[in-house]
Amino acid sequence: LYRVTAASYLLTPSSPGTLILRPATVRAQGMTVESPRLTLNVAELPAGARPTGAVGGFRVSSRVDPTQPLLGDAVTLVVRVEGEGNLNYLQLPPLQFPDFAVLGQTQHSTLIPGKSGYSGAVEWEIRLSPKKTGTLPIDVPAFPWFDPQAGEVRSWPGRTHRVLVREAAGAAEPKDTERLRPLRG
Protein backbone atom coordinates (compact mmCIF):
# COMPACT_ATOMS: atom_id res chain seq x y z
CA LEU A 1 0.00 0.00 0.00
CA TYR A 2 1.13 3.51 -0.77
CA ARG A 3 0.03 6.71 0.85
CA VAL A 4 0.01 9.41 -1.81
CA THR A 5 -1.21 12.95 -1.37
CA ALA A 6 -3.53 13.59 -4.31
CA ALA A 7 -4.08 17.25 -3.48
CA SER A 8 -3.60 19.59 -0.59
CA TYR A 9 -5.16 22.92 0.21
CA LEU A 10 -4.33 25.79 2.51
CA LEU A 11 -7.47 27.28 4.00
CA THR A 12 -7.72 30.60 5.86
CA PRO A 13 -11.09 30.86 7.68
CA SER A 14 -12.40 34.42 7.77
CA SER A 15 -15.03 34.09 10.50
CA PRO A 16 -15.67 31.96 13.61
CA GLY A 17 -17.98 28.97 13.58
CA THR A 18 -18.05 25.42 12.28
CA LEU A 19 -16.41 24.63 8.98
CA ILE A 20 -17.29 21.33 7.31
CA LEU A 21 -15.10 19.97 4.55
CA ARG A 22 -16.80 17.33 2.43
CA PRO A 23 -15.05 14.03 1.80
CA ALA A 24 -12.56 14.05 -1.04
CA THR A 25 -12.68 11.23 -3.57
CA VAL A 26 -9.67 9.98 -5.53
CA ARG A 27 -10.01 7.54 -8.43
CA ALA A 28 -6.85 5.96 -9.82
CA GLN A 29 -5.99 2.66 -11.53
CA GLY A 30 -9.50 1.32 -11.10
CA MET A 31 -9.62 2.10 -7.37
CA THR A 32 -11.67 4.68 -5.52
CA VAL A 33 -10.65 6.05 -2.14
CA GLU A 34 -12.62 8.57 -0.12
CA SER A 35 -11.36 10.64 2.80
CA PRO A 36 -13.51 11.16 5.87
CA ARG A 37 -15.57 14.32 6.29
CA LEU A 38 -13.63 16.90 8.29
CA THR A 39 -15.30 19.24 10.78
CA LEU A 40 -13.30 22.22 12.05
CA ASN A 41 -14.30 24.52 14.89
CA VAL A 42 -12.98 27.98 14.05
CA ALA A 43 -12.43 30.10 17.17
CA GLU A 44 -13.03 33.85 17.33
CA LEU A 45 -9.92 35.97 16.80
CA PRO A 46 -9.00 37.79 20.05
CA ALA A 47 -10.07 41.44 19.99
CA GLY A 48 -6.48 42.68 20.26
CA ALA A 49 -5.52 41.11 16.91
CA ARG A 50 -8.59 42.21 14.95
CA PRO A 51 -7.08 45.42 13.45
CA THR A 52 -4.75 43.25 11.34
CA GLY A 53 -6.47 39.85 11.35
CA ALA A 54 -2.97 38.36 11.72
CA VAL A 55 -2.42 34.86 13.16
CA GLY A 56 1.06 33.31 13.40
CA GLY A 57 4.55 34.42 14.33
CA PHE A 58 5.78 37.65 12.74
CA ARG A 59 8.50 40.29 12.63
CA VAL A 60 7.48 43.78 11.55
CA SER A 61 9.64 46.66 10.37
CA SER A 62 9.22 50.01 8.64
CA ARG A 63 11.44 52.54 6.90
CA VAL A 64 11.13 55.83 5.02
CA ASP A 65 13.19 56.98 2.04
CA PRO A 66 14.32 59.71 1.61
CA THR A 67 14.36 61.19 5.10
CA GLN A 68 15.25 64.72 3.90
CA PRO A 69 13.15 65.41 0.81
CA LEU A 70 12.46 68.74 -0.83
CA LEU A 71 8.91 70.07 -0.85
CA GLY A 72 7.20 68.41 -3.81
CA ASP A 73 9.40 65.29 -3.74
CA ALA A 74 7.91 61.85 -3.18
CA VAL A 75 8.66 59.92 0.01
CA THR A 76 8.21 56.15 0.22
CA LEU A 77 7.10 54.45 3.43
CA VAL A 78 7.75 50.69 3.45
CA VAL A 79 6.06 48.43 6.03
CA ARG A 80 7.24 44.80 6.01
CA VAL A 81 5.71 41.80 7.83
CA GLU A 82 7.64 38.52 7.66
CA GLY A 83 7.27 35.19 9.38
CA GLU A 84 4.82 32.31 9.24
CA GLY A 85 1.05 32.32 9.48
CA ASN A 86 -1.81 33.86 7.54
CA LEU A 87 0.38 36.22 5.52
CA ASN A 88 -2.15 35.93 2.68
CA TYR A 89 -4.90 37.42 4.82
CA LEU A 90 -3.44 39.96 7.24
CA GLN A 91 -3.99 43.71 6.77
CA LEU A 92 -2.20 46.89 7.73
CA PRO A 93 -3.91 48.75 10.55
CA PRO A 94 -5.45 52.06 9.39
CA LEU A 95 -2.78 54.62 8.44
CA GLN A 96 -3.21 58.40 8.54
CA PHE A 97 -0.84 61.00 7.13
CA PRO A 98 -2.19 64.49 7.93
CA ASP A 99 0.94 66.30 6.63
CA PHE A 100 1.23 64.24 3.42
CA ALA A 101 -0.81 63.54 0.32
CA VAL A 102 -1.00 59.83 -0.52
CA LEU A 103 0.17 59.29 -4.11
CA GLY A 104 -0.37 55.53 -4.23
CA GLN A 105 0.17 52.18 -2.57
CA THR A 106 1.51 48.84 -3.80
CA GLN A 107 1.76 45.47 -2.07
CA HIS A 108 4.36 42.79 -2.76
CA SER A 109 4.45 39.31 -1.26
CA THR A 110 6.59 36.21 -1.29
CA LEU A 111 4.55 33.33 0.10
CA ILE A 112 5.46 29.66 0.49
CA PRO A 113 2.67 27.35 1.72
CA GLY A 114 3.41 25.09 4.67
CA LYS A 115 1.75 23.24 7.55
CA SER A 116 1.41 26.37 9.71
CA GLY A 117 0.22 28.69 6.95
CA TYR A 118 2.42 30.69 4.63
CA SER A 119 6.03 31.58 5.35
CA GLY A 120 7.63 34.56 3.69
CA ALA A 121 6.94 38.28 3.69
CA VAL A 122 4.36 40.89 2.73
CA GLU A 123 5.55 44.42 2.02
CA TRP A 124 3.49 47.56 1.49
CA GLU A 125 5.00 50.60 -0.25
CA ILE A 126 3.09 53.84 0.29
CA ARG A 127 4.17 56.87 -1.76
CA LEU A 128 3.61 60.19 -0.03
CA SER A 129 4.13 63.85 -0.92
CA PRO A 130 4.72 66.38 1.89
CA LYS A 131 2.23 69.26 2.06
CA LYS A 132 4.56 71.66 3.90
CA THR A 133 8.14 72.16 5.06
CA GLY A 134 9.59 71.33 8.47
CA THR A 135 10.11 68.18 10.50
CA LEU A 136 7.05 66.08 9.78
CA PRO A 137 6.05 62.81 11.48
CA ILE A 138 5.05 59.67 9.61
CA ASP A 139 3.33 57.46 12.17
CA VAL A 140 3.12 53.71 11.64
CA PRO A 141 0.71 52.31 14.26
CA ALA A 142 1.24 49.18 16.33
CA PHE A 143 0.83 45.88 14.48
CA PRO A 144 -0.84 43.20 16.66
CA TRP A 145 -1.20 39.49 15.88
CA PHE A 146 -2.39 36.37 17.64
CA ASP A 147 0.40 33.85 18.29
CA PRO A 148 -1.34 30.44 18.46
CA GLN A 149 1.74 28.67 19.85
CA ALA A 150 1.94 31.06 22.81
CA GLY A 151 -1.85 31.46 23.02
CA GLU A 152 -1.58 35.24 23.29
CA VAL A 153 -1.75 38.48 21.34
CA ARG A 154 1.67 39.95 20.56
CA SER A 155 2.43 43.29 18.99
CA TRP A 156 5.06 45.33 17.21
CA PRO A 157 4.89 48.69 19.02
CA GLY A 158 4.77 50.90 15.93
CA ARG A 159 7.18 53.63 14.93
CA THR A 160 7.24 57.34 14.20
CA HIS A 161 9.57 58.35 11.39
CA ARG A 162 10.69 62.00 11.26
CA VAL A 163 11.12 63.52 7.81
CA LEU A 164 12.87 66.87 7.36
CA VAL A 165 11.16 68.56 4.42
CA ARG A 166 13.06 71.50 2.97
CA GLU A 167 12.02 74.19 0.53
CA ALA A 168 13.52 73.70 -2.93
CA ALA A 169 16.37 76.15 -3.63
CA GLY A 170 15.03 79.30 -5.28
CA ALA A 171 11.42 78.31 -4.71
CA ALA A 172 10.73 80.88 -2.00
CA GLU A 173 11.08 83.96 -4.22
CA PRO A 174 10.67 84.01 -8.00
CA LYS A 175 13.41 85.55 -10.11
CA ASP A 176 12.83 89.08 -11.47
CA THR A 177 12.19 87.74 -14.95
CA GLU A 178 9.50 85.41 -13.60
CA ARG A 179 7.52 87.96 -11.55
CA LEU A 180 3.93 88.35 -12.54
CA ARG A 181 2.95 91.77 -13.81
CA PRO A 182 -0.43 93.19 -12.98
CA LEU A 183 -2.94 93.25 -15.81
CA ARG A 184 -3.93 96.65 -17.12
CA GLY A 185 -7.49 97.12 -18.02
| pLDDT single digits (tens) 77-124 | 999 999 999 999 999 999 999 999 999 999 999 999 988 899 999 999
Distance, in Å, from the CA atom of 63 to the CA atom of 130, rounded to the nearest integer, reads 16
Please say if the pLDDT value at position 31 is more than 90. Answer: no
Higher confidence at residue 172 or residue 9?
Answer: 9
Distance, in Å, from the CA atom of 101 to the CA atom of 77, rounded to the nearest integer, reads 12
Higher confidence at residue 10 or residue 110?
Answer: 110
User: pLDDT digits over 44-64, tens only?
Assistant: 999 999 999 999 999 999 999
pTM above 0.85, yes or no: no
Residue 83: what pLDDT? 97
CB burial of residue 128 (10 Å; 0-12, 13-18, 19+)? buried
Distance, in Å, from the CA atom of 141 to the CA atom of 47, rounded to the nearest integer, reads 16
Distance, in Å, from the CA atom of 81 to the CA atom of 114, rounded to the nearest integer, reads 17
User: pLDDT digits over 138-184, tens only?
Assistant: 999 999 999 999 999 999 999 999 999 999 876 555 444 445 555 55
CB burial of residue 138 (10 Å; 0-12, 13-18, 19+)? buried
CB 84 within 8 A of CB 147: no
